[in-house]
Amino acid sequence: MLKEIRVFAPASVSNIACGFDAMGFAIDNPGDEVVLRFTDNVGLTIKTITGDNNQLSYNISENTAGAPVAALMKDFNIQQGVEIEIHKKMALGSGLGSSAASAVAAAYAANILFELNLSLLELLPYAIKGEEIASGAVHADNVAPCLFGGFILIRSYSPIDIVELPVPDNLYCTIIHPNIIINTKESRKLLPVDVPLRSAITHWGNTAGLVAGLYKNDISLIGRSIEDVIVEPVRGMLIPGYYDIKDAAYEAGAAGCNISGSGPSIFALSNSLMVANNVGARMKDAANRAGLSSNIYVSTINKVGPKVLYKL
């Protein structure tokens, strides 16, 4: 019988411009790590949180990693004491699915530690419980790609319907994370309630074009489809120098570029590692000119999702 497990879950890019709350993909790094272990105590506790600058709650019901484990323990009548360690390896409010990574790592670890043998689809609603705490809304465009790996379409939420999309082997992602914080809950409050029909038509076309581009291995079509006329105009204003950074990505050869999640991270897609690295350098230069320090991540699309680092 297992006593302890440590799981890594990757960052993710959500919305992909035209796929608000409906599309996302996982990247190789950064990511979060969660440790779960049985104890002789009673109930579920959070023992340690690192990398959060003391921002996260130790209250189980208010913690993105704690809530999924608590729900699993309740539903499957787990009576043993359990404690959690959460090790944040990426900034909170980064737009890279930090809360989703912690929720997924915890749910994935619990499934193995408790020997539940749940499928990823069965595990998904538990991970979503953690994400809901952070965002104040039920959405899976970070959680699903983080859990399943790859590029994910959420076709429906009632009931949840996940579609795993193909990914071109030569598709590379460059992420720039400006060192500012945008709160997801607050960012969502700025979004328009009503959408003009013309804007909706544009989004429908781009979403279909993005899916078609993935199936056709057509990176040019993927790039042309990464266009957002609804959310980007609002969230772009929250990122200093955003449009200059975006222009720099295109000038360096990116096929497409937009905001990752609620920001402030910005993603760009390219057709080679060389271009992706050059895009990162040019985006960082543009961020510097806007007075922003930043971190750059270059990655393929992560097709694995969470992984076990060790089991004891």
Residues carrying an active site annotation: 131, 184
Residue 158's CB is within 10 A of a number of other CB atoms, namely: 6
Query: Could you give the CA distance from residue 304 to residue 311 in angstroms, rounded to a whole number?
Result: 18
Angle at 31 between CA 26 and CA 37, to 5 degrees: 120
DSSP state of 42: S
User: What is the β-pairing status of strands 23-39 and 4-14?
Assistant: antiparallel
In the block, residue with structure tokens 């104040």: 136
Q: Residue 132 is encoded by which pair of tokens? A: 């809901």
Q: Residue 110 is encoded by which pair of tokens? A: 């619990």
Residue 251's CB is within 10 A of a number of other CB atoms, namely: 13
* SS3 (DSSP) at 26: strand
* SS3 (DSSP) at 298: strand
User: What is the β-pairing status of strands 151-157 and 256-259?
Assistant: unpaired
Instruction: Report the length, in residues, of the chain.
Output: 312
Query: Could you give the CA distance from residue 159 to residue 138 in angstroms, rounded to a whole number?
Result: 12
Backbone φ and ψ of 196, nearest 5°: -60, 145
